[in-house]
Amino acid sequence: MLIHNADLTHQTTIAYNSHRLNMTAGEHIMSEVIPVEKQTTNTAINHHDKRVYESIFDMLPSVDNPTPLVRINRLNPEPGLSLFAKLEWVNPFGSVKDRAAAYMLRELERTGSVSATRGIVEATSGNTGLSLAGMAGAKGYHTTVVVPNQIPEEKKILLKIVGAQLEVLNDSLCPTPGLGDGSINMARTHARAEPDKYVHPNQYVNQQNVQAHYETTGPEIWRQTEGRVTHLFVSLGTCGTATGTSRFLKSKNPNIRVVAVQPSAGHDVPGLRNIAQLDVSELLDRALIDDLLEIEYELAYRRALDLCRNEGLLAGPSSGLIFEGARRIAVRDKVGLGVMIFCDNILKYTSSMVRHLPELSADAVPRMRE
Ligand SMILES: Cc1ncc(COP(=O)(O)O)c(C=O)c1O
C-alpha cells in the first residue's frame, strides 16, 4: 500500500468568506469563550487559505486547519511503509501542547473559573506552560508555572518571555501526580491555598487534554491521509496525545496500529515518561497501545540531528525518539502509511543537544589560522 505525494497534497480547500458564516468546529469553540470585549465583529477575516487571522486563537489546529504532514524522504529504511511527520511545532506556541492548553482554557472560561484576577497555575515540563501562558496572556489572565529544574534553560527563559511566573523545583522531568512535594502537588497547593488567585487545570488528569486530540489531531490525520493511515507513532507524557488520537483513529479503523515510543531509564527528554513510570499516567489507556518500544534515550538526540541534516526537519528530541521507533517498525511491518507526531522542534533544546553531541559545541568548531 504505497501512497504518493500527490495523493496527500490533494485536499479540499475551504474558502472562508466570513468568520461567522463559516466557522469550523475549533473556531466555534474558541469564539465562544473569548471575553465579549475581545470578540471580533462580523467583519472579522479568518482565512486559512490566505493565512490572515483575527487572533492566534483562530490559528489553532482543526480538521480544516491541520498541522502539516511531511514525508520522510531520505531516511526511511523501508519505502514500502511511507512515513509522514506531523509537524506540531507549526502551532502558534510551538508544540503539540497548544491543543490541550486551548481545550483546558476553554473549559476554564466556560465554567467561569478564570478571570482578570484569578489566573492559572500549572505544573509543566515547559511546553504546556508555554501554550497556557501565551494564550492566557493574550486574554489578560496571569499564569504561574511550576517546572522541574532539569528542563532546558531555553524553556525557562521562554516561559518568562511569554509572561509566566516561574517556580523551579527539584522534581523528576515528567512530574508524578500525587507524589510528595513534586511540582504537580505544588501547583495544587497554590490553588488550594489561594483559590481566589489560582485555578489548576492539571493536564495530567484533565480529560480536556484527551478530548483535544480526539476532536482535532485524530480527525486531521484521518482526513490528511484520506483514511489510509496504518500506523500511528506517539510518545507518552501525560498520554493525552496518544489516548485521544488513537481513540479517534481506532474508531475509524480498529486495525490501525498504535506504537508508543519511550526513552530508556535515566533519560532527559522533557515531556516524556519512562515505561516504568507509566502507571502514574491517569490518561493512559493501555488497550489502545499495540506496541510499546523502549529506546536508548541518547538516540533521541542523534536522530533529531539526522532529521535536521537530512530531511530539513528541525525536529526536537521527542520527535527523534519517535522517528527511531518508526524506523524499527517500518523494517518489521514493511507495508503501510505511518504518521509520527513530531511534538516540537529543536530550537528549545540547543543546550541539551550540545550536552549529548559535544561535536556541536561552538568550541568544537576548528579555528581559522591567523
Ligand atoms: C516535547 C514533547 N513531546 C511529547 C510530549 C508528550 O505528549 P503528551 O503529554 O500528550 O503525552 C510532550 C508533553 O509535554 C512534550 O512536551
Residue 168 and residue 107 in contact, taking contact as beta carbons nearer than 8 Å: no
Question: Of the residues 199, 231, 251, which one is the last residue of a structural domain?
Answer: 199
Looking at residue 146, which CATH number applies to its domain?
Answer: 3.40.50.1100
Q: How far apart are CA 330 and CA 361, in angstroms?
A: 33
One domain, residues 77 and 101: no
Ligand 1: distance of its center to the CA of 225 in Å? Answer: 23
**Nearest Cα residue to atom 14 of ligand 1:** 271
Atom nearest to 203 CA in ligand 1: 9
pLDDT digits (tens, 9 = 90+) for 337-354: 999 999 999 999 999 999
Active site residue ranges: 97, 318
Give the CA angle between residues 217, 220, 225 to the nearest 5°.
125
Alpha carbon 111 to chain centroid, angstroms: 25
With a 6 Å cutoff on the Cβ, whether 241 touches ligand 1 is yes
Instruction: Determine, yes or no, domain membership for 367.
Output: no
With a 6 Å cutoff on the Cβ, whether 344 touches ligand 1 is yes
Question: Of the residues 151, 172, 199, which one is the last residue of a structural domain?
Answer: 199
Mean per-residue pLDDT, 151-168: 96
* Burial classification of residue 75, based on how many CB atoms lie within 10 Å of its CB (0-12 exposed, 13-18 middle, 19 or more buried): middle
Ligand 1: distance of its center to the CA of 284 in Å? Answer: 13
Ligand 1: distance of its center to the CA of 119 in Å? Answer: 23
- What pLDDT shows up at residue 19? 31
Q: Select from 91, 93, 97 the residue to mutate for testing ligand 1; criterion: most ligand atoms less than 8 Å from CB.
A: 97
Our count of domains for the chain comes to 2
Selected residue with higher pLDDT from 143 and 35: 143
Q: How far apart are CA 235 and CA 213, in angstroms?
A: 14
Atom nearest to 319 CA in ligand 1: 3
Mean pLDDT of the chain, nearest integer: 87
pLDDT digits (tens, 9 = 90+) for 104-130: 999 999 999 999 999 999 999 999 999
With a 6 Å cutoff on the Cβ, whether 263 touches ligand 1 is no
With a 6 Å cutoff on the Cβ, whether 239 touches ligand 1 is yes
pLDDT digits (tens, 9 = 90+) for 202-226: 999 999 999 999 999 999 999 999 9
**Nearest Cα residue to atom 16 of ligand 1:** 271
Instruction: Determine, yes or no, domain membership for 55.
Output: no
Q: What whole-number percentage of the chain has pLDDT above 70?
A: 83
Q: How far apart are CA 225 and CA 230, in angstroms?
A: 10
Atom nearest to 240 CA in ligand 1: 10
Mean per-residue pLDDT, 80-103: 98
One domain, residues 347 and 330: yes
pLDDT digits (tens, 9 = 90+) for 7-61: 333 332 222 222 322 333 334 334 344 443 454 445 566 678 889 999 999 999 9
Q: Select from 343, 344, 345, 348 the residue to mutate for testing ligand 1; criterion: most ligand atoms less than 8 Å from CB.
A: 343
Instruction: Determine, yes or no, domain membership for 360.
Output: no
Please state the three-class secondary structure of the chain as a single string: CCCCHHHHHCCCCCCCCCCCCCCCHHHHHHHHHCCHHHCCCCCCCCECCCCECCCHHHHCCECCECCCEEECCCCCCCCCEEEEEEEHHHCCCCECHHHHHHHHHHHHHHCCCCCCCCEEEEECCCHHHHHHHHHHHHHCCCEEEEEECCCCHHHHHHHHHCCCEEEEECCCCCCCCCCCCCHHHHHHHHHHHCCCCEECCCCCCCHHHHHHHHHHHHHHHHHHCCCCCCEEEECCCCCHHHHHHHHHHHHHCCCCEEEEEEECCCCCCCCCCCHHHHHHCCCCCHHHCCEEEEECCHHHHHHHHHHHHHCCCCECHHHHHHHHHHHHHHHHHCCEEEEEEECEEHHHHHHHHHHHCHHHCHHHCCCCCC
Instruction: Determine, yes or no, domain membership for 350.
Output: yes
For residue 365, name the pLDDT band (cuts at 50, 70, 90).
low
Range of the domain at 229: 61-93+207-355
Paired strand residues for 336: 81
With a 6 Å cutoff on the Cβ, whether 315 touches ligand 1 is no
